Structure 1
Amino acid sequence: MIWQDYLSNTVQATKHSGIRRFFDIASTMDDVISLGIGEPDFVTPWSIRESCVYGLERGYTSYTSNKGMFELRHAITHMYEKKFNVKYNPETDAIVTVGVSEAVDLAMRAVINPGDEVLIPEPCYVSYAACATLAGGKAVAVPTSFANEFKVTPEDLEKYVTNKTKVLLIGYPNNPTGTVLEKNELLALADFAKKHDLIVMSDEIYGDLTYGDKEHVCFSSLPDMQERTILLNGFSKAYAMTGWRLGYALAPEPVIDAMNKIHQYSMICAPITAQIAGLEAIRNGEKHMKKMVAEYDRRRRLIYEGFTSMGLKCFEPKGAFYIFPNISSTGLTSEEFAEQLLMRQHVAVIPGTAFGKCGEGFIRASYATSVDNISAALARIKNFVEHL
């Protein structure tokens, strides 16, 4: 039996993640310093872990509501009202998911009909285009430029919008570039969405990780945008809870109802232990989050100074925990640079092309690792660049 003849054409045409290949190679090598993984190096704060242990001791091991524990949904919606003055009904406007990645997938499948187009500014998170395609839509890449810190503008989008365009998907602070969108820039995107009657999917998983005087602006808090925004977020990055797989979506009731239909037939619900931990994170995790953000800020400045001092151009990232240096001066492609750096100096980074074609000439480096690791990696990268 030739299984390839029986597999879905859409799935077969979907490429494997450009990130995982380098992780797989690195895992077979010794003495590798990884700047590739987009995961906090911190352990989930103890009070959050303890809440889970306590829940297990009390026997909390059952299913929850498909949409998630009401207490957690209430805490999430209350947090958004308090922080951004945007009101959601926890009964109807919120759903808890298995990571924000599931929320992206559910949102796509809930609104996309075959042939609908999704505008996706690149470079971007690797799952966006795949989720749009798997939902039956057409992912339309919108290139952005280094000269504008990879910020998407209405002028960029106008070149690609058609009468089939249904969704604009944005992620900010951005993975992989660390770019933060200012309020005036978001307002311009909101006007574009209203002009073309688009749904906006706003992935704000890195919203708590902003630095300096930059403050995160919730997209649905913008004038007239709550009614057309599907807001996606989770606990992985800000609270160092990647392995807990806990995310959520906030949107108008018809959208959440549609997402829940899919969710209840696939995942049923997010794990109750993760939901208990998420509730504790919202209630008492902010002080731990602020400490982690302060440490990321220290690492951010170190890695930015390191790359610029060795002659690799990059703009200073203002959010998330990534930097996106330009390596085109080396004469290598992004893939060649990443592969040779890994083989010769045992430093893992991700080629920019994993995040879209306009990422050619760039690499993504994560500073979600220790200062010692960053310093050692920078020394190895400098040695690699000098000997090219």
Structure 2
Amino acid sequence: MTDFTRSNAAQARLHELVPGGAHTYARGADQYPEGMAPVLVRGSGCRVTDCDGNEFVEYGMGLRAVTLGHGYRPVVEAVAAAIAEGGNFSRPTVLELAAAEDFLNLVPTADMVKFGKNGSDATTAAVRLARAVTGRVTVAACAQPFFSVDDWFIGTTAMSAGIPEPGTVSFPYGDLAALEAVLAEHEVACVIMEAATALHEPPPGYLPGVRMLCDRYGALLVFDEMITGFRWAAGGAQQVYGVAPDLSCWGKAMGNGFPLSALAGKRAYMERGGLRTDDPRVFLLSTTHGPETGALAAFRAVVHAYATTDPVGRMEHAGRRLRAGFEEITAELGIAEHLRVTGRPSCLIFQTCDPQGRSSQEFRTLFLRELLRRGVLGQSFVTSAAHTDTDIDHTVDACRGAATVYARALDHGGVDGFLEGRPVAPALRAYAAPRRLTELVR
């Protein structure tokens, strides 16, 4: 049995010092079975080790921020060389110029780029710019999981305490008529969306239709490329699907785990934040650490890796192999309608259902627990280029054991007797319950 004694002690102490016990809600202990939330000390490739010495094959890879693998040597060496010469200065560096050139070579639909440190800053800068350009306030955000920590988006979620009316309306993905109804009813500054997700490829004609509707109604089109960038392709979804947004927002895998984001777009709009405009200036992005040398060097090394190797191909190969093994197991056990893996090969997720076929957090928790016991860590099966055939074989073996327990619980009619503790809960919810801490360590 995998031991989590030291991780549990570290997690208890984290709850004393950090609200929620983690700096990202998706990394919280409430996203894992009780008493089985590893606190990590190191990683290499796709393997991570916790403070109890347990080793896991990791999926999700830093919330999709690591596509080349943990400790990828060319990135580490580029960062080390850059910061040895200084990390932050009072004027731009030649590295900022080189990184901007690299980025715009990757994303030819954009004319200008500005770097930041996190994705929320980039999406909020896009919203601010769109509001200034159009003179409108309302944001039309696609009904997709996440866009920003800022009020305009978080105010639309269940975790909206302390936020005034966000001025944001929602529309469903894949439905042009629904989007047109929103645009006709509201004076919309921008339409922000992921062009595709793990679960949804754009229907034929959908993205060109979105582009046409934005033009017709005078709204800017903003693509959120946080996940699709460097996972669908180096140039993101706009490269794959051939539709050019007015603005696009990037982050996550740009630095293979090093913090970097970007707002990119057409010159006519981006210049509103510069010195070549007679219009009122827009406060786009202005951060002390946005242009620090370490992350920019990491980005340039990532660009080189994508130009000289095939990370997307390796991610997709690993994902296809994992899905094939997984589906063979669930078919053998007769539970394929209850335990499924779905999504783009480089961005797989698993879906867990109870005996009645309803989505189930209890069965999700059971599956996570059994994977952890067998050396697999992940809230998904999102791969990296570092996942080798050996790692996939290990994962498929773990899935076989976990799915066998899952099948027994289905036959039993539920998880009682199979699962200790409370189930996982949605990361964004109005109250700490059902995973409220009942004890505090002093």
TM-score normalised by length of structure 2: 0.61
Aligned length: 330
The answer to whether residue 97 in structure 2 is matched with residue 70 in structure 1 is: yes
1:178–1:319 Cα contact (<8 Å) kept: no
Which residue matches 2:366?
A: 340
Structure 2 unaligned blocks of 5 or more: 1-23, 40-51, 156-162, 275-281, 331-335, 411-442
Identify the residue that residue 168 of structure 1 maps to in structure 2.
191
**How far apart are residue 379 of structure 1 and its match?**
1.8
What residue number does 2:167 align with?
Answer: 138
Distance 1:130 1:329, change over 3 A: farther
Query: What's 2:121 paired with?
Result: 102
In the other structure, the counterpart of 2:31 is 22
Which amino acid in 2 is paired with 1:181? P
2:115 partner amino acid: V
Indicate conservation of the 8 Å contact 1:338/1:349, yes or no: no
Distance (Å, rounded) in 1 between the aligned partners of 2:81 and 2:196:
34
**In structure 2, do the counterparts of structure 1 residues 33 and 19 end up closer, same or farther at CA, with 3 Å as the change threshold?**
same
Q: Secondary structure at the match of 2:231?
A: coil
Q: 2:347 aligns with which of 321, 346, 371?
A: 321
CA distance in 1: counterparts of 2:102 and 2:164, whole angstroms? 30
Matched, 1:125 2:154: no
Higher alpha-carbon Rg: 2
C-alpha root-mean-square deviation of aligned residues, in Å?
Answer: 4.0
Alpha-carbon spacing, 1:373–1:141, altered in 2? closer, same or farther (3 Å): farther
Aligned residue in 2 for 1:246 = 260
Q: Is the contact between residue 110 and residue 265 of structure 2 (CA under 8 Å) also seen in structure 1?
A: no
The runs of 5 or more residues in structure 1 that have no matched partner are 1-15, 145-151, 351-363
Q: Measure how far apart 1:198 and its partner are.
A: 1.7
Who is 1:4 aligned against? none
Which residue is equivalent to 1:153? 175
Distance 1:267 1:303 in 2: 42
Q: Distance in 2 between matches of 1:261 and 1:68?
A: 23
Q: Deviations over 1:257-312 (max 9, x none)?
A: 44973532x54533222112323433454224x1x323312221133234544104
TM-score by length of 1: 0.68
CA distance in 2: counterparts of 1:64 and 1:58, whole angstroms: 15
Which shows bigger deviation, 121-130 or 98-107? Answer: 121-130
Equivalent position amino acid for 1:340 in 2: L
Match of residue 321 from structure 2: 302
Alpha carbons of structure 1 residues 33 and 285: separation in structure 2 relative to 1, 3 Å: closer
Q: 2:382 aligns with which of 351, 366, 381?
A: 366
Tell me if structure 1 keeps the 8 A contact 2:113–2:265. Answer: yes
Q: CA deviation at 1:171?
A: 1.4
Alignment equivalent of 2:247, drawn from 225, 230, 236:
230
Q: Are the aligned partners of 1:68 and 1:95 in contact in 2 as well (CA < 8 Å)?
A: no
Deviation at 1:24, TM superposition (A): 9.1
Q: 1:299 to 1:273 in 2, by over 3 A?
A: same
Equivalent residue number for residue 147 of structure 1: none
- Tell me how far 1:187 sits from its aligned partner: 0.6
* 1:207-264 Cα distance to aligned partner (Å, 9 max, x none): 44339xxx94349964xx55xx111124x43x6612x111211123444644973532
Give the counterpart letter for 1:304 in structure 2: R
Q: Which moved more, 1:102-111 or 1:325-334?
A: 325-334
Q: What SS class does the counterpart of residue 189 from structure 2 fall into?
A: strand
Which residue is equivalent to 2:220? 199
CA contact (8 A) 2:139 2:189 kept: yes
The answer as to whether partners of 2:140 and 2:192 remain within 8 angstroms in 1 is yes
What is the deviation of 1:98?
Answer: 0.9
SS in 2 for 1:300: helix
Cα gap change, 1:334 to 1:18, in 2 (>3 Å)? farther
Question: Aligned to 2:107, what secondary structure does the other structure show?
Answer: helix
Task: Show the 5 A alignment for 1:266-281.
Answer: 266-267=287-288, 269-281=290-302
Q: Distance in 2 between matches of 1:67 and 1:200?
A: 31
Contact 2:191 2:222 in 1 (8 A): yes
